[in-house]
Amino acid sequence: MVKVMATAMALVLAFLLAAGVGLSEGAVYKVGDAAGWTIMGSPNYTAWALSKKFEVGNTILFEYNKSFHNVLEVSKADYRSCNAASPIATFATGNDSITIKTTGHHYFICGIPGHCGGGQKVDIKISNRLCLLCSPFHLAHRLSFRLPCYLRSRWC
């Protein structure tokens, strides 16, 4: 019975993809949640990032006062040393949405002197783990419908 259901689900997925049904957009994560991107109140961005399960396609939203902060995407070495001299990318609108396109670590700091050293930095880690049995079901989840609980729990 489960094998028949899995085969049927695979056929439905293939049909939907052939029909041009797009993948749903990824989740949006506001850095720091209610606190946003700030040094006020000493938010713990490390704990915030560790509490999330980021995936490729997710959007990381930085909301902050652009008169006092910015967002720099930096290398691992620059993240560790809080070096803002050679960023990969610079964002300064106060409402920056960054869509994650690759797995691995994505390092962000505030480039205002003293802010990164004061903790205004975040490491967004995108896992590259793949569950081979789950991948068709993960795809189904990313489409706009859900599998019955008994199938999800049985396979994943």
Is-above-0.85 flag for pTM?
A: no
Identify the CATH number of the domain in which residue 134 sits. 2.60.40.420
Range of the domain at 68: 2-155
For 25-82, what is each residue's pLDDT tens digit?
689 999 999 999 999 999 999 999 999 999 999 999 999 999 999 999 999 999 999 9
111 neighbors 83 (Cβ within 8 angstroms): no
Domain count across the chain: 1
Q: Is the Cβ–Cβ distance between 83 and 115 less than 8 Å?
A: no
DSSP string, 65-85: -TTT--EEEE-HHHHHHT--S
